[in-house]
Amino acid sequence: MSLWLAILLVVVVIAVIVLIISSKKNKGLGSRVDDESMRTCKNCSKTIAEDYLKSLCPHCNKFLI
Ligand SMILES: [Zn+2]
């Protein structure tokens, strides 16, 4: 009887570890997607190239926030 309890405990622990690892992976992928996403102008909501370093939007010539 104690053997079955031990097996059940191990299965529960493994399930919890797998859940924690999968949730961490999902969060990591989400932040990576945010980092790789293009910048957008908040005035005209058009996309701006990541290597565009000027402080003025090339589409509406307003300051990028
Ligand atoms: Zn703009």
For residue 56, report the distance from its CA to the centre of ligand 1, in Å: 8
19 inside domain: yes
40 CA to centre of ligand 1 in angstroms: 8
In a domain, 63, yes or no: no
Residue recorded with tokens 């690892």: 21
Structural domain total, the chain: 1
Residue 45 within any structural domain of the chain: no
DSSP 43: T
Query: pTM here?
Result: 0.39
Residue with tokens 């079955």: 4
Q: How far apart are the CA of 45 and the centre of ligand 1, in A?
A: 6
Length of the chain: 65
Whole-number Å distance, alpha carbon 28 to ligand 1 midpoint, is 30
47 phi and psi angles, rounded to 5 deg: -75, 145
Predicted confidence (pLDDT) per residue in 1-49, tens digit: 689 999 999 999 999 999 999 988 877 655 444 445 578 899 999 998 8
Residue 10 belongs to some domain of the structure? yes
Distance CA 11, CA 18 (A): 11
Domain of 27, in residue numbers = 2-37
